[in-house]
Copies of this chain bind each other. A is one copy, B any other.
Amino acid sequence: MIAREPPARGDMSPQEFCDAGHRLVDWIADYLSSAERYPVLSRSAPGAVAAALPAAPPAGGTPFDEIFGDFERTIVPGLTHWNSPTFFAYFSISASGPGILADFLSSALNQQAMLWRTSPAATELERVALDWLRQLLGLPASFEGVIYDTASVSTLHALAAAREAALPRVRTDGLLQGGRPARVYASAHAHSSVDKAVILLGLGHRSLVKVPCDTEFRLRPRELAASIEQDLAAGHLPLAVVATAGTTSTTSVDPIADIAAVCERHGLWLHVDAAYGGAAALVPGHEWVLEGAERADSLVVNPHKWLFTPFDLSAFYCRRMDVVRAAFSLVPDYLKTSEPASVRNLMDTGIQLGRRFRALKLWAILRYFGSEGIRARLAEHMRLARLFAAWVDEADEFERLAPVPMSVVCFRWKPAGVSGEAERDRSNAALLERVNATGEVFLSHTVLDGRFVLRLAIGHIRTAEHHVARAWDIVRAEAADLRPA
């Protein structure tokens, strides 16, 4: 018995799609070239966006034009403009034109690169684009790549592989049978994704040993070696070390080669978190950033951070991808295929089965700019950061709190008449709030050796010297206004 129901209308018509699409292209082109006209940090009050939207879903349909009107009226004022050249907070990222356009194609094609056969193009372009990036990073061909969404997920896979390598029965039996308590090592400045991965993997947060840093916020290899030896003596099971090439607070680079030597001595998995800093290694004279990484077991670099790629795209490289496969591969009947064994099914190397066609945007960006174009832009960002650092160094009432190996400057205000760390911290927090309230620029902060520090990160593809100069003018002007009488 077949029920009779009215036929559905299908999708938006080609004409409607074209009309709306052309309008969006013009809007986006205009947005990209003039994002500075919006307050960088949204001025929306908590709850304002939600309050402007109906509480219940609409029953009837709405023409796309009207939806777009509501987008402009309701959503845009609630945006913090990550794609503005005056966004200097956290890590400054960019969705470049070619990346946005390629991502538009990915959305339309809706590929699922879980099996080779479900998208030969996405599967093979992923291999090619990652191999290009590997060459640019200066890593040997023994590193096989796979794309995940975020560095959090890349690092999770690295530590899952380390767990698998050290405890081959963990997949079947779990950690309860593991015997000795595991240990993972990273510097006190490693990213919170390392903490989260250790927790998720069931190792327990206290299995993560935060190794002390030197005065430039780099992990001390001797302290690492001492920690490992102490843990071995105590009957613990050291699994892995995470070295950071470009820490979140100060873009410090751990001494990877020295750390690799320690790992080799003890047979530990070495993962390099170069999510931000990996890009720097593309710049001539900055190859040192990944020196020693060729001895690592795995490495993550995020093209969505400093390689002009729209979020999300995290590139994970591994010299022992067979261990990742041993940890994750699991093929249900309905996904079994008959391709030759040479064919790589990317679902075998990840926790996520569904996989968007992310390689397309990376490929488009590497081709559109070319490695020379990318290098020139990265070098320019570094030049701008050094310029800002020089201004800070020359100013009487400001001080720099960390070296500037890449494109982030950590600095703070030290107003005359303000003594005591707590008061200085409050002054800097107040200054940051005023600077961001101008809407012209957005900076963030961090804490170094217990002190509240301002952080200016350069990384947007359209950031030019005048944007950085304007940030410095605003910082000084707001400081002058705030200065104790």
Task: Identify the closest chain B residue to A51 (Cβ).
Answer: B124
CA distance A331 to B195 in the complex (A): 11
Q: What 5 pairs across the A-B complex have the smallest Cβ distances?
A: A174-B204, A202-B202, A78-B121, A12-B97, A21-B25
Q: Which residues of chain A (145-195) have a CB below 8 Å from chain B? A: 149-153, 156, 160, 163, 170-178, 181-182, 191-193, 195
A46 / chain B contacts, CB cutoff of 8 Å: 116, 120, 339-340, 342-343
Q: Which residues of chain A (78-134) have a CB below 8 Å from chain B? A: 78-83, 89-90, 93-101, 103-105, 107-112, 116-122, 124-125, 127-128, 131-133
Partner of A8, one of B2, B120, B125, B380: B380
Instruction: Say yes or no: A342-B149 contact (C-beta < 8 A), given A21-B28, A120-B80, A174-B182.
Output: no
Q: Which residues of chain A (29-51) have a CB below 8 Å from chain B? A: 29-33, 41-42, 44, 46-50
Partner of A131, one of B20, B55, B178, B356: B55
Asked if A260 is at the interface (CB within 8 A of a chain B CB), the reply is: no
The interface stretch among A219-227, A261-269, A369-377, A474-482 is: A369-377
Q: How large is the interface on A (under 10, 10 to 19, 20 to 34, 35 or more residues)?
A: 35 or more
A366 / chain B contacts, CB cutoff of 8 Å: 57-58
Most buried by B among A15, A57, A110, A200: A110
Instruction: Say yes or no: A353-B150 contact (C-beta < 8 A), given A46-B120, A111-B79.
Output: yes
The answer to whether B118 touches A82, judged by C-beta atoms less than 8 angstroms apart, is yes
The answer to whether B353 touches A6, judged by C-beta atoms less than 8 angstroms apart, is no
Asked if A398 is at the interface (CB within 8 A of a chain B CB), the reply is: no
A16 / chain B contacts, CB cutoff of 8 Å: 97
At the interface, is chain A mostly helix, strand, loop or mixed?
helix
Asked if A255 is at the interface (CB within 8 A of a chain B CB), the reply is: no
Partner of A461, one of B3, B10, B44: B10
A136 / chain B contacts, CB cutoff of 8 Å: 57
Asked if A422 is at the interface (CB within 8 A of a chain B CB), the reply is: no
The answer to whether A199 touches B11, judged by C-beta atoms less than 8 angstroms apart, is no
Report the minimal beta-carbon distance from A137 to chain B, rounded to whole angstroms. 11
The interface stretch among A288-296, A413-421, A439-447 is: A439-447
Instruction: Say yes or no: A109-B82 contact (C-beta < 8 A), given A21-B29, A351-B196, A373-B61.
Output: yes
